[in-house]
Amino acid sequence: MLWLSDMKQITRRWTYRTLTSVLYLAGTLCLTLFVLAKLHQTIASELALNAIDERTNAPLKTLPDTSKTPSSPLSQLTLPKPDKSDWSSARKTRFEVATLSKPIGKILIDEISLEAPIFEGDSELNLNKGVAKVLPANHTRHSSNLVIAGHRDSFFRRLGVLKNGAIIHITMADGKEHTYQMTNHWIVKPEDTWVMAEVSQDVLTLITCYPFYFVGSAPERYIVRAVKRLPNQKQG
């Protein structure tokens, strides 16, 4: 029966080595995917910031007067939207990626070395490339409360470091610059949507998940509230 005992030992060794190799390969694959995702995020963010800088710094051009020029039939053509009812989820995803939204501005917070593009709508695609302007259902497009959301494990990682008085700059794609000064912060539940409500003055509300290093779906939200400063207003 000695040979049977030897066979069991050989089998155990082979199983152990195989399992070790599989776990090693799985770990390497996960690490590679993580690095590629971070690289894609960095590249997408840089491209969006460059696009904003080009649009805000571009010199104004004198456009020719086309009021008396007959319009081309092609210029009046409206492209039809595709019927996606029979599309697979993979095809829908490819279509969405092919029609990526352009950044509407950028946020700059020198105190935490943050510069990120702002996109319209808090889709996962936008949040992976930058931060996102959130428009609650009861808001108008020109709301007094500018709400911007970001992931706690990327662009808003150091949001909790900010203290009252911190300066936050928002530059829109049309070149308009807005400066806000932090006045408060809260830790709230996800259902506490009052932080996004209209207020009597122009404010900026930054939202991210909390705790910052929580593993899994975070149970709370970290809120930064900043008030818009008037031009030439001194910091105080």
pLDDT score for 21: 77
pLDDT score for 42: 63
Class of domain 1-57+97-236: mainly beta
Tokens of 189: 């539940």
Query: Which residue among 40, 139, 169, 209 is the active-site one?
Result: 209
Known catalytic residue: 30?
A: no
Query: Which residue among 151, 169, 178, 185 is the active-site one?
Result: 151
* C-beta of residue 105 within 8 angstroms of C-beta of residue 92: no
Please report, in tens digits, the pLDDT of each residue of the chain (236 residues total): 555 666 667 777 777 778 787 777 777 776 776 666 556 556 656 666 666 666 556 543 433 443 444 444 433 444 456 667 776 776 665 556 545 578 999 999 999 999 999 998 888 888 888 999 997 766 556 779 999 999 999 999 999 999 999 999 999 988 899 999 999 999 999 999 999 999 999 999 999 999 999 988 999 999 999 999 987 666 65
Known catalytic residue: 151?
A: yes
Q: Long-range contacts made by residues 125-133, C-beta under 8 angstroms, separation at least 24? A: 125/96, 125/97, 125/100, 125/101, 126/101, 127/151, 128/40, 128/41, 128/44, 128/154, 129/41, 129/44, 129/45, 129/48, 130/44, 130/45, 130/48, 130/103, 130/106, 130/155, 131/107, 131/155, 131/156, 133/104
